[in-house]
Structure 1
Amino acid sequence: MPDTHSAATPAIPRRALVTGAAGFIGSHLAQTLAQAGTTVIGVDRRDPTRDQTAATNLAPLHGLPGYLHITADLLNCAIDPLLFDADAIFHLAGIPGVRPSWGPQFSEYVNANILATQRLMDAATRMRVPRLVVASSSSVYGPTNGGPSTEGDHPRPASPYAVTKLAEEQLCLAHASRADCSTSVVALRYFTVYGPRQRPDMFTHRALHAALTGQPLRLYGDGHQRRDFTYIDDIVTATISAARAPIDTGIVNVGGGSNASLLDVISIAKSLAGREIHIHTDGTRNGDVLTTRADPRRARSVLGWQPTVDLTAGMRAQMDAMTRPAHQSAA
Structure 2
Amino acid sequence: MKILVTGAAGFIGSHLCEHLLLDKNHKVIGVDGFLGFTNHSIKQRNLTNLISHPRFQLVKEDLLFINWSHYLNDVDVIFHLAGIPGVRSSWGENFKLYVDYNINATQRLLEACRTLPIKKFIYASTSSVYGDKTGKLSENSSCSPLSPYGVSKLTGEYLCKVYQENDGIPIVILRYFTVYGTRQRPDMAIHRFIKSILLNKPIEVYGDGKQTRDFTFISDCVQGTAAALYTKNFIIGETINIGGKERASVLETISLLEELFRKKADIQITGTTRGEPKHTWADITKAEKLLNYQPIIPLKIGLQKEIDDLRKLYR
TM range, smaller chain: over 0.9
- Report the alpha carbon displacement of residue 247 of structure 1 after superposing the two structures with TM: 4.2
- Contact kept in structure 2, 1:184 and 1:247, CA below 8 Å: no
Q: Aligned equivalents of 1:251 and 1:312: distance in 2?
A: 29
- Contact kept in structure 2, 1:35 and 1:64, CA below 8 Å: no
Q: How does 1:231-242 map to 2 (within 5 A)?
A: 231-242=217-228
- Report the alpha carbon displacement of residue 79 of structure 1 after superposing the two structures with TM: 0.9
Q: How does 1:304-323 map to 2 (within 5 A)?
A: 304-323=292-311
Instruction: Work out whether 1:294 is the aligned partner of 2:282.
Output: yes
Instruction: Work out whether 1:172 is the aligned partner of 2:125.
Output: no
Q: Unaligned regions of 5+ residues in structure 2, if any?
A: none
- Report the alpha carbon displacement of residue 116 of structure 1 after superposing the two structures with TM: 0.4
Aligned to 1:67: 56
- Partner SS for 1:40: strand
2:203 is matched by which residue type in structure 1?
L
- Partner SS for 1:126: coil
* Length, aligned pairs only: 309
- Contact kept in structure 2, 1:218 and 1:282, CA below 8 Å: yes
Q: Aligned equivalents of 2:212 and 2:245: distance in 1?
A: 12
Q: How does 1:22-41 map to 2 (within 5 A)?
A: 22-37=9-24, 38-41=26-29
Aligned to 1:137: 126
Instruction: Work out whether 1:102 is the aligned partner of 2:88.
Output: no
Q: How does 1:83-94 map to 2 (within 5 A)?
A: 83-94=72-83
Partner of residue 170 from structure 2, selected from 184, 195, 201 = 184
1:270 is matched by which residue type in structure 2?
E
- Contact kept in structure 1, 2:235 and 2:290, CA below 8 Å: no
2:40 is matched by which residue type in structure 1?
D
Instruction: Work out whether 1:196 is the aligned partner of 2:168.
Output: no
Q: Aligned equivalents of 1:62 and 1:294: distance in 2?
A: 34
Instruction: Work out whether 1:80 is the aligned partner of 2:66.
Output: no
Q: Aligned equivalents of 1:212 and 1:221: distance in 2?
A: 23
RMSD between superposed Cα atoms in Å: 1.5
- Report the alpha carbon displacement of residue 174 of structure 1 after superposing the two structures with TM: 1.7
Q: Aligned equivalents of 1:286 and 1:211: distance in 2?
A: 25
- Contact kept in structure 1, 2:51 and 2:58, CA below 8 Å: no
- TM-score, normalised relative to structure 2: 0.95
- Partner SS for 1:35: coil
Q: Aligned equivalents of 1:196 and 1:210: distance in 2?
A: 16
- Contact kept in structure 2, 1:34 and 1:65, CA below 8 Å: no
- Partner SS for 1:94: coil
Q: Aligned equivalents of 1:258 and 1:212: distance in 2?
A: 25
Partner of residue 268 from structure 1, selected from 247, 252, 256 = 256
- TM-score, normalised relative to structure 1: 0.90
2:15 is matched by which residue type in structure 1?
H
Instruction: Work out whether 1:51 is the aligned partner of 2:40.
Output: yes
Q: Unaligned regions of 5+ residues in structure 1, if any?
A: 1-13
Aligned to 2:214: 228
- Report the alpha carbon displacement of residue 53 of structure 1 after superposing the two structures with TM: 1.5
Q: Aligned equivalents of 1:247 and 1:176: distance in 2?
A: 13
- Contact kept in structure 2, 1:257 and 1:294, CA below 8 Å: no
